[in-house]
Every structure is written in structure tokens, then in C-alpha cells.
Structure 1
Amino acid sequence: MSGSRADPSRPGATRRGRGISRSSLACALTARCLAACLAALPLMTMDTACAQVVGPPIRLTPSADPSASVPVPSPVAPPVTSPVEEAAPPAAPSMAVVPVVPRPPPVASQPLGPPDPDGAGLLSGGEGLGGDPWRGVSQADALPLLAALPVNTPSPTAKALQRRLLLSAGSPALAVSAGAPPSGPAPVFGDAPSSHRSGRRFGALRVTALARLGDARAAAELADRLPGLLSGDEAAARALTDAELLFGPMECAKAQARGQGFEDPYWRKVDLYCRARLGDRAGADLALAMLRERAGRADPFLPLAESLTGGPPPGRRALLDASPVALAAMRTARVPVPPDALALTDPALLAAIATNPATDPATRASAGERAAAALFLDTRQLLDLYAQIPVRGDEILRARDLAGRDRSAYGRALLHQAMAATMDGSRRVALAALAVELVDPLWRSGPVGGAAAALLDTVSPTPDAAALAPAATRLYAAVGRLDAAKRWYDLAQRGRTADAAWLWPLAAVSGLLPRGADAAGLSPWLAEAVRGAGDDARTRVAGQLALLQAVGVAVPDSAWLAATDGAGPPGGVVGGVDPALWQRLGDAATGGRVGETVAVALLLLGEGGPTGTPPRLVARVAANLTAVGLEGDARALVREAMAALVAPTGSER
């Protein structure tokens, strides 16, 4: 209990032993307390006066700077508060106070400049992120954020949010207009500074980011709306062409025209590929001769190029080239990709291997799972890959034992095929239970979890499947199929299975509970969750409390003390997180800068997404997204994170 808010030795600590709780003190705050605050206003700021009566709140989003102006009560909704942020020790029990915001800066008028040609978008209004999500942000601040956006997230919610950000109409200003709040210094991320210093256009970075996400169609449509973009930015033109080669659709005429102004041999390879694909044999031979002259005979793409133009199949030397144009050439020439190509780590390239029909089906399924985990293949494509794996001997009959030991893409494919081949009800429940168990917690929200959910669809939530109900609830909630999750959750509660209690936090953030039932369920769940729990389990429970609070579930101090064994709520910046980004997220949300808030939130989540990120960081991201009107996205991120956290009592999965 040392250092906790419940320690009576600390100044201002609550004396819980006298039976006075923070909640009862909150009820006791009467007009007399408010009058004391107002009476003190001439002598001190409202923050100071009220803090002496009730103590300062603890915030997920940052407090307003009291030095900015004389603070006054405001009808504006307060920033989301939470006991997961450090604050000074209170002089009295912590309770809510009248929200205090700084006075807005004076309004200054400026003549409007010409419209930014890079402000066009495919989404506007409610379809995107509002009228102009980049209002109040300078290009100097926005461009490094766009250049550093994550690519290989396992989170469908994060990827969809990033896509909306990139496709929304609007653009940052060349300079922030007078009266707009500063967004702080631009952070340094990876190769972002070089991209910014090179003078790349805002639109070019948007097209590049969309292409890197694998959305070639949207990237091409956006580029068509931005005049002269691709002719002046080779990096964007190449990113778009790579995405078309890997994922389609490939419009060869546009790709060939796109590369005419550039000298890199890459564009000669694209031209040769397109000519061969379109059956232009003479043109392909000419392109091959030019490529030999420009690239040299040591280029590993040349054997593939010769195969495309009617030459012999390439040897293994050609397979050293794992570029997008080489993988597309292999697919077109029906050259199989060897299994050792799975040493590749780029899921976009693995997606190209998975979609090469000449490659061994087991290799395709293994590559496909890893591509699907980063959302470069969808559930339907993954199910097709599972169905194509040939089954040997009596493996269908032994699928449960084999998959339980194998735990690979082959094992999961075997379960799917065995499920299709059996009609026995108890065997189907057992196979479905194993398929759900074999999904990595980090992959539950994406296509790998979706494939397991598709198999689970063939099992009815009846009493004979009650043992499967908790795991089925978790999986369906993770993939966002909440109607199905509700049916299995109700079955779990009716069956009162031993593991049903751990589902409560997931049900609370997913809307599976009756209205008003979330508060009543907190104490029973928490008592069960911390009974005999070790340090790791308590850390997980504390993370769940932070997520619950981020979506509006009231978490009393007593719950934090129980979860942390008296240490109280954690505070400060999450370990390993850039403090500047942590602060910048709250500053952007407080200033109503939607685009900046979303971009910084995505950077904080990184390629781990909400399932691979500390839950207290996910809670902060969710609270600030809610503050700028993106409550639906915030809840979906919390749901994904919670689905990876919830586990039976005593389990660390």
C-alpha cells in the first residue's frame, strides 16, 4: 500500500477506515461547495479554488494550461477523465469539478489563398472524418505523420480508420492561420524526415500510404483527382504500381504511361511485364533487349523476363528476386514460388505468393495466413486456400489430434476440411472448439479469426455446445459479429459454465449486456478475477479496468485498489511510448484537430494494433478519439483489445 492513494500517511489521503468513500463525498458536494468555489474566484483561479474543496481530476486527455488565460466555467464538455494518468497528490478526496477550459484565442481574419489541389478526396462528411479533418494543422506538422503511418496492422478498425483519414477531403495549411492552436513540433519517425525535407506533396504521401496498405484501387482513384501528382513524384507512382502488381487491378496502359518520365530500370520491367501479359510479343522482345542493356545480365529479373517472352522456365537463381514485379511475373508465367520463400517477412509479398496458383498449396496457405494477419487477404481468400490443401490418407479422421499437435496453417486447414466431412454433432463441436482455440489472440479480429468464425457458424448455440460458448463469444466479439456473440454469451450465462464469469468485461464494452447492467457486474467479475491472481494476472485486470473506463464504465477507486493489491491506479506515460507523442495526442484532441488526433493515435498503436499494445495506451487512444467525435472507432478498438485480454481465471492467454 506504500505510495497508494489509500495510504493514510500521505497528505490528503482518504481515510477509508472512517467509512467515508469517494462516492459518498461526491454525493455530499452541495451548493455550499460550489458557492465556496465561486467565492474564491477573485482570489485564485477556479482550478485552485475547487481543488482545495474536492481535489483535481485525473485525466486521460491533458488539462488546459491555466497560464493561457483567466479560466472560466464553460458549457463545453470536459475532456475524458480517468485514473490512469499521474496527477499531484490531492488535498482532499478526488471528485469531479466544474469543467474549466481556457478562453479561445482572439479571432483574426486573413485573406483566403487558392484552394489546395491536394485537398480532394473520395470521402466527405460523415463518410470520412468530417468537413476538413486537417483544419488547424500545418503541413510541416502533418507530412511527417503521414509518412510514418503503420502498414502491417492486424486491426481491421485501425486500418479502416487510417483509410478514412487518407481518403477524406481536406488538407493541412501551408502555415497555421492566426488564432489556431499550435500543434507542437513535428516528431521524427523512421524515414519520415527525409520524405518531408524532399518537398513531397501532401497528396503524394496520401497515395503512397494507401498503396502500402494494399488498397490499389482507392490509391489510383485518389491520384486521378490530384492533377500532375504521379508525374512529379516517382515514389508515389512506384508505390501505386507495386500495389497494382501485388493486389490488382493492374491497368497496364496507365502503368506504362506512368513510368515514361522516369529512368529507373524498374519501369522497363513493368513495361515488359505488361507487354507480355497483353500478348505483345514483339514489344516484349524489344523491352527485354532494352532491359538487358540498361540493367545488365546480372539482374535476377532477367530469367523471369525471358520466361515471359517465351523462353525456358527460370532456374532457382531467378527466385532470388522477391520484388513485386518479379512476383507478378511468376504468377503470370505460372512459375511456382519455392517454400523457402516463406523467409520473407513482408506480408504484402506473402500475399502475392499466396495468390500464385502454380505454387504448392501448403506453401500458399502458410503465406496466406501471414498475409491475412496483416489484412492483405480477406477471410474468403483464406478459406479458399484452406480448401485447396490436399489431405493425405486418413488425416481427416485424425484431424483433431493432428491439428492439436501441428498448430499451423496446415492443421487449421485440416480442421476446416474435417468439419465439412462430418455430420456427427459432438465431433463438430469438438472440431469447432479446437479451431477457435488455435487462433492466435493477436489475430482474432482479422481474417484468421474470421475463418474460424465461419467454421463456428455451422454449430448452433444449443445446450449441448455450452462448453464452447465462452470461447465462441470472445471470437465473435473480436471480429465484430455482435449478434452472434450475443447468442453465445446468453448461452454461456444460462449454462453457468466455470469460465463464463471472465466474459463480463468483453460483454460490457461490446454492448452485450442489458442497459445499465455494466455497473452491477463489475464487482462480481473483479472479485473472481483477482482471487489468487499473480502479478501478470493483476496487470491484465488493471488493463481491463482502463479499457472499461475509456468507454464510460464507472470504475471506483476500490476496484483499482483491489486490482493492484493496494497500489492504486497506474499513472504517467506507458513504458516504451514516446512521451512527445503521448502528449501530442491529448493536445490535438483538446484542440479539436481531428486529422492530427487520428494520425497520432495510429502511430501510438503502431503495427501491433490494439491487440499488441499495452491496454492503458489503447484506453488513452480511445478516450481521445471519443473526444473528437469518433466514439464508434474508439469502442471498436477497445473491443478488439479486450477480446485479446479476456481469458479464463488463472490463464495468462
Structure 2
Amino acid sequence: MRSFIKASLAATLLFGCASTVYAQDNAPRTLAPRTLSPVGQAPTVVPSVTPVPVKTISGGINVQSLDQVNKEALGVLSGSKAFASTMWSGTNRPFVENLLETLPARPSAPYLRILQRRLLLSAAQPPQGVSAQKSLLSIRAAKLAEMGQTNDVISLIKSAPQNERNNDLAILETEALLLNNKISDACSLASSNFSANQDTFWVKTMAFCRMLAKQNDQAMLSLSLLQDSGDNDPVYYDLMNSLNAGERGHVKSLPAAKPLELALISASKAILSKEVRASDDPNMLSLLTKAGDIYAIQKAVEANLASVDFLRETFKRIKFSDKELADALSSAQSLEPLKAQALLYQVSAKPNQLAVIRTETISLALDLAKKNGTFFSIARLYRPMISNLARSIDLLWFAPKAMRALLAAGDWESAKAWFLMLRNAAFTDVQAAKSWTDVRPLAVFAGFDVAPQAVNQALAGWWKAQAETPQSFARANRLFSVADGLGLVVSDQLWLSLMQGPKLAMGQAPKAGIWLKMNKAAMAGRLGETVLLALHGLGHEKTANMDSNYLRDALFALRSVGLERDARAVAVETSLQAGF
């Protein structure tokens, strides 16, 4: 069975907690500021960073004339949000199918998730070659489901004509409906497919639907027949038995949660073990996020799987003593990480809070987040506050942190404003000059300062300020490699300084063949194949440990197929992950 879900079930059924509406905040985005629902607004779906219009072929995607349309070419992205419809030109189909199926379910960085969604949602003519049993549309939909993108799954499947939706697509759509809590629609679809196809999935789903409809005898008869035939699915049967008995289910282990199991967990108000609740699987994360599990919320927001509003509302509900609120900077140091973040957020978000207090609490929050691996989610949490701060000479000390946080949150325009303030002050302020030197390479990667002379000054100035340690040589190697991958000129003198330094250990390289094939695809201009291989090389493990030479080649490859802005976004994000 597939392991590819995103829970979207009512949290009140699971833990009896007040539910917050779950939103997918990971649409392909521009570098413009985010648009989020105001705090305190009635529960609603939080809009994506850049709303993605859902269009079918008949709705305007210009792939080819309708009489020539191949259902596998369908997609729901168009215009600048989509990759070219010819992106698979020159690529072998079996090769693409295999790599699509093995893409990471949890890309290692937020922007890599965006790139992966664009690849899977773009309308494009299929690659040439003999097709396997599954259609390319089914493979794409299955991977989106595995990533937890249930709305994408439904939209992509609905772009296909009704008479061309096979059993695989029908199962995927039913599972997505279950996970979006559209139980009636899911059961209706299951009923229409059950009579024509005796796939075990339909039998199990119909049994679940009958149980919900109080047709317990029919449901249990189906289960008995399934078990007699040798079907082995202990979690499903245990939860169905609990539902039949009107008892809460218990789940001790769930290595690969299925949509039907999550629907049963919700329906039976199942109690989950600590092991199950610690899962990083997108489906379980979303289920726990809606249930108000603060640890799951943090992980889901960090991965760009859930809206930052979940984190904001959760932090606001945590109670603190008057003493803790009065001395948040000191109190936060002794609290466990997430509770410390909640305390700092409450103090920062206080209406009419003094700028000096707000920046001090945000500064500590960002420091703690960097230490605990939650920098991107905390940066997104504070983006509105930082963007709205009145920049002044009194806040020069805060400018580097503000810039990094805004870059991580995708608000590059506001980040640039803080950088320019720091640059202007650097001519007369010694500390500002040091801070400017430290963040200047990031500004170069983001495109704030790309004149050849400025690039050389930025890299040389940063390197001059570093102590000569093995660690600094490794960091310099990464920095210079990223710059080279972006097509920026790194002087011979800088490379020479590394050549004369200590021998450096290689970082983590991708699996055999990925590196070489990516470079070849980029040289040949094969866009889809290049992006697919770059996602495999970068997306399975944290990029902070990635080999600098591979990272350089991945950026160069993206630029070679016309993805300049995407390469810059990956360069900035991976640099922030590495602690720059």
C-alpha cells in the first residue's frame, strides 16, 4: 500500500482539542512579502504565499491543441509558475518514471519543496520511451500525495477527463478526499468504484464507510471475508474493531500510515503512542498539527508543510507567570526550546511593545532557533514584525539578524532594505562595518550587490575577517563554491589561499550517477531532467552537510537551464542552513 498522505482530518475527533484550520502554505512563491490572514480573524484557510490558480487544459494551459492532448501532459500550473511544456524533451521515459517515484517525500529545505511541487504540477509533454504500467499522471499524483499535498492531488486528477481516470487515480483521489475530511465525497467515489473493481482498497474503504453509516454488520462481514482471504493489516483491523465497539483505538506503532488508517484514527479518537507522535511523516505531521501538538506544528512549519499561523496561535495560547513575562530574556534561557519560543513571541507581539524590547526578544528567539534547527519556522513567525519595524541607527545591531531572518522567510525586498541601511552605516560605524562584512556574501547571493568589483570585495572582505582554522577554510570553500555556481567571479587570489591551506574533507555527495547525469542533462539543456536530478542530489539530506563541489554544480546546472532565480533562492537557503 502507498505511504503518501497528508492528514486533513478534524482534530477534535482525535484528541478533543480545539481545532485550527489546516492550510498548505507551500505554494510556489515569488520573493515578495507573504500575505497571511490577520491574527484574530475568524478561522479560514490561510492563503498560500503566491496563490496558484488551478487550471485544466480547457481552463487555459497552452500545452497543445485539445485534439492532441495527452492526459499525461496535464498540469495545474501555467505561465511563470510552471516549467516549460517541453521540459522532458530528450529524456528517456523509464529514467524519469523511476526518479519521480523516488523523489524525497520530505525535501530537505523549504524552497526545494517548492521546486519539487512545480516539477510535479507543471503541464508538460511526457518523455519519449516505453511506458511502465502506471501512467505518468498517476506517478506525479502519488508523489504529491506522499509529500502531503492533498489539494494538489485532487486538482491534478480533476484536470484529467472523467473517462480517462484509471483505478490508480480513483484510489488517489479517494484517499485525498478522506484526508481532506470530505468523507461523504470519498465514500461516494468508493461506492461507484466498488461495484466495478474488487481491489482490496475499495473493500476496506466501503467497510469504513458502512461503519460510519451505522451499518456495522455489513462492515464487519466484509472484514471477516477479507481476513479469511489472508489480508494482513493489523492497524486497520484493530481500529475498525474499536470503532465497531464504540471504543477509542490505540496505535502503538505506525511505520507507514495509510489514509484509511488516519481516517480511522480520527473516527475512533485513537490514542497514539509517543513513538507514533514523534513521526516526521508528512501525513502524521499534519494530523498532529491540527490536533495542536506543538512539536508536530514546529516540524510542519519548518518543512513548509503547514502555515506559520499554526505556530503563532499555539504560542499565544501557552500560559506564563507574570514573573516570566516581565523578565522574558532571562526566563527563556531556562525553559525548554519551544516553551522559550512561545514566551519570547508573546512578549514581542504585545501591542505597542517598545522597539528595543521587541528586537531584543526577537534576537534571542532567532539565536535559539538557529541552535535548535528551527530557524526557518521562527523566521517566518517574526517576518511581519521585522518587516514593520522602523529601521533606524539605534537598530543597526539588529540589522544582520533581521536580514537573515527575512531572507529565510522569503521576504527579500525587506531584507535588502535592512542590508542597505547597514551598508550606509558601515562607512562611519566600525561595528556596522564588521556586521556588513559578515552578511555581504549573502547579499551577493541574493542579488543585492552583484557588480564584479562588489562581489570580489564581499568575498575577500569576509575571508580576511576569518581566523585561519580548518573550520574557516571549509566554510570559505563552501562560500566560494556557491559563488562560482551562481556565475560570480571568485578571484584567483582567493582560490589560491584555499589551495595553500589545509586539505579539506569531502562533504556528503549524492548517490552514484546523480551528479554526473545532472551535469550532462544541464549541458544538453534538458530542463526537467536537470531539476529532477538536482532535487535528488539536494533534497534527501540536509544541505548543510552537502559536498561543496556538488552544491556548486547543482547551482550551475539550474542556471544552465534558465532557472537563475531558483538557483539564487537555493544558494541563499542552503547558505543559511549552513550557518552563514
TM-score, with normalisation over the residues of structure 2? 0.76
Deviation at 1:599, TM superposition (A): 0.6
Alignment of 1:563-642 (within 5 A): 563-566=498-501, 576-608=509-541, 610-611=543-544, 613-642=546-575
Q: Is the 8 A contact 1:272 1:287 kept in 2?
A: yes
- Aligned twin of 1:521: 457
Instruction: Spell out, residue by residue over 1:78-119, the C-alpha distance to the aligned partner (whole angstroms, 9 max, x if none).
Output: xxxxxxxxxxxxxxxxxxxxxxxxxxxxxxxxxxx9864312
- Aligned twin of 1:120: 74
Matched, 1:286 2:218: yes
Equivalent in 128, 136, 157 of residue 223 of structure 1? 157
Deviation at 1:340, TM superposition (A): 5.0
Matched, 1:432 2:386: no
* Cα separation, 1, equivalents of 2:72 and 2:115: 20
- The verdict on how the C-alpha distance between 1:157 and 1:475 changes in structure 2, with shifts beyond 3 A counting, is same
* Cα separation, 2, equivalents of 1:625 and 1:428: 39
- Aligned twin of 2:437: 501
Instruction: Spell out, residue by residue over 1:448-501, the C-alpha distance to the aligned partner (whole angstroms, 9 max, x if none).
Output: 431243454464433333222211211111222112212222343325334432
Alignment of 1:173-252 (within 5 A): 173-175=127-129, 199-226=133-160, 231-233=166-168, 237-246=170-179, 251-252=185-186
Q: Give RMSD over aligned pairs.
A: 3.5
Q: Is the 8 A contact 2:308 2:380 kept in 1?
A: yes
* Cα separation, 1, equivalents of 2:150 and 2:222: 28
Deviation at 1:139, TM superposition (A): 1.2
Instruction: Spell out, residue by residue over 1:153-194, the C-alpha distance to the aligned partner (whole angstroms, 9 max, x if none).
Output: 142322222222112222334439xxxxxxxxxxxxxxxxxx
Equivalent in 477, 502, 507 of residue 542 of structure 1? 477
- Aligned twin of 2:62: none
Structure 2 spans left out of the alignment, 5+ residues: 1-66
Deviation at 1:219, TM superposition (A): 1.6
Q: Report the AA paired with residue 118 of structure 1.
A: E
Secondary structure in 2 aligned to 1:545? helix
Q: Report the AA paired with residue 214 of structure 1.
A: G
Deviation at 1:307, TM superposition (A): 5.9
Secondary structure in 2 aligned to 1:396? helix
Deviation at 1:417, TM superposition (A): 2.1
Alignment of 1:87-102 (within 5 A): none
Q: Is the 8 A contact 2:100 2:143 kept in 1?
A: yes
* Cα separation, 2, equivalents of 1:274 and 1:393: 50
Secondary structure in 1 aligned to 2:369? coil
- Aligned twin of 1:355: 290
Q: Is the 8 A contact 1:441 1:644 kept in 2?
A: no
- Aligned twin of 2:422: 492
Q: Is the 8 A contact 1:347 1:374 kept in 2?
A: no
* Cα separation, 2, equivalents of 1:565 and 1:138: 44
- Aligned twin of 1:254: 189
Instruction: Spell out, residue by residue over 1:8-55, the C-alpha distance to the aligned partner (whole angstroms, 9 max, x if none).
Output: xxxxxxxxxxxxxxxxxxxxxxxxxxxxxxxxxxxxxxxxxxxxxxxx
Q: Is the 8 A contact 1:157 1:637 kept in 2?
A: yes
* Cα separation, 2, equivalents of 1:211 and 1:307: 27
Q: Is the 8 A contact 1:154 1:445 kept in 2?
A: no
Matched, 1:171 2:107: no
Q: Is the 8 A contact 1:439 1:448 kept in 2?
A: yes
Q: Is the 8 A contact 2:486 2:556 kept in 1?
A: yes
Secondary structure in 1 aligned to 2:513? helix
Alignment of 1:42-53 (within 5 A): none
Q: Is the 8 A contact 1:585 1:597 kept in 2?
A: yes
Matched, 1:472 2:407: no
- Aligned twin of 2:37: none
Matched, 1:133 2:66: no
Deviation at 1:587, TM superposition (A): 1.1
Deviation at 1:355, TM superposition (A): 0.7
* Cα separation, 2, equivalents of 1:574 and 1:338: 36
Matched, 1:481 2:399: no
- Aligned twin of 2:261: 326
Q: Report the AA paired with residue 419 of structure 1.
A: S
- The verdict on how the C-alpha distance between 1:473 and 1:174 changes in structure 2, with shifts beyond 3 A counting, is closer
Q: Is the 8 A contact 1:304 1:313 kept in 2?
A: no
Matched, 1:346 2:281: yes
Deviation at 1:265, TM superposition (A): 5.1
- The verdict on how the C-alpha distance between 1:421 and 1:515 changes in structure 2, with shifts beyond 3 A counting, is same
- The verdict on how the C-alpha distance between 1:539 and 1:258 changes in structure 2, with shifts beyond 3 A counting, is farther
Q: Report the AA paired with residue 141 of structure 1.
A: F
Q: Is the 8 A contact 1:561 1:567 kept in 2?
A: no
Alignment of 1:76-95 (within 5 A): none
Deviation at 1:534, TM superposition (A): 1.1
Q: Report the AA paired with residue 345 of structure 1.
A: D
* Cα separation, 2, equivalents of 1:564 and 1:258: 65
* Cα separation, 2, equivalents of 1:442 and 1:581: 31
- The verdict on how the C-alpha distance between 1:456 and 1:618 changes in structure 2, with shifts beyond 3 A counting, is same
Equivalent in 400, 414, 423 of residue 329 of structure 2? 400
* Cα separation, 2, equivalents of 1:224 and 1:139: 24
- Aligned twin of 2:381: 451
- The verdict on how the C-alpha distance between 1:213 and 1:248 changes in structure 2, with shifts beyond 3 A counting, is farther
Instruction: Spell out, residue by residue over 1:585-619, the C-alpha distance to the aligned partner (whole angstroms, 9 max, x if none).
Output: 11111212111111111111122354553343222
Matched, 1:152 2:112: no
Secondary structure in 2 aligned to 1:608? coil
Q: Going by fraction, where is helix more abundant, 1 or 2?
A: 2
- The verdict on how the C-alpha distance between 1:114 and 1:510 changes in structure 2, with shifts beyond 3 A counting, is closer
Deviation at 1:641, TM superposition (A): 1.5
Q: Report the AA paired with residue 157 of structure 2.
A: A
- Aligned twin of 1:24: none
* Cα separation, 2, equivalents of 1:295 and 1:170: 43
* Cα separation, 2, equivalents of 1:256 and 1:388: 42
* Cα separation, 1, equivalents of 2:358 and 2:563: 40
Q: Report the AA paired with residue 379 of structure 2.
A: G
Deviation at 1:205, TM superposition (A): 0.8
Secondary structure in 1 aligned to 2:112? helix
Structure 1 spans left out of the alignment, 5+ residues: 1-112, 177-195, 648-653
- The verdict on how the C-alpha distance between 1:403 and 1:330 changes in structure 2, with shifts beyond 3 A counting, is farther
Instruction: Spell out, residue by residue over 1:303-338, the C-alpha distance to the aligned partner (whole angstroms, 9 max, x if none).
Output: 6446656x54315x3455554333333435555645
Report percent identity of matched pairs. Answer: 23
- The verdict on how the C-alpha distance between 1:276 and 1:480 changes in structure 2, with shifts beyond 3 A counting, is same
- The verdict on how the C-alpha distance between 1:222 and 1:527 changes in structure 2, with shifts beyond 3 A counting, is closer
Q: Tell me the matched-pair count.
A: 499
* Cα separation, 1, equivalents of 2:238 and 2:513: 50
- The verdict on how the C-alpha distance between 1:455 and 1:613 changes in structure 2, with shifts beyond 3 A counting, is farther
Choose 290-299 or 117-126, whichever is displaced more: 290-299
- Aligned twin of 2:391: 461
Equivalent in 371, 380, 392 of residue 309 of structure 2? 380
Q: Is the 8 A contact 1:622 1:638 kept in 2?
A: yes
- The verdict on how the C-alpha distance between 1:138 and 1:126 changes in structure 2, with shifts beyond 3 A counting, is same
- Answer with 1 or 2: which has the greater Rg: 1
Q: Is the 8 A contact 2:71 2:164 kept in 1?
A: no
* Cα separation, 2, equivalents of 1:523 and 1:139: 43
Deviation at 1:148, TM superposition (A): 1.1
- The verdict on how the C-alpha distance between 1:458 and 1:630 changes in structure 2, with shifts beyond 3 A counting, is closer
The answer to which structure, 1 or 2, has the higher relative contact order (CA under 8 A, 6+ apart) is 2
- Aligned twin of 1:81: none
Instruction: Spell out, residue by residue over 1:504-549, the C-alpha distance to the aligned partner (whole angstroms, 9 max, x if none).
Output: 110111122375663352354244344x231122111111111112
Q: Report the AA paired with residue 613 of structure 1.
A: M
- Aligned twin of 1:102: none
Instruction: Spell out, residue by residue over 1:414-451, the C-alpha distance to the aligned partner (whole angstroms, 9 max, x if none).
Output: 22223234734433222111111122479667444312
Instruction: Spell out, residue by residue over 1:553-606, the C-alpha distance to the aligned partner (whole angstroms, 9 max, x if none).
Output: 2111111122443579x99x9653334211111111121211111111111112
Q: Is the 8 A contact 2:112 2:539 kept in 1?
A: no
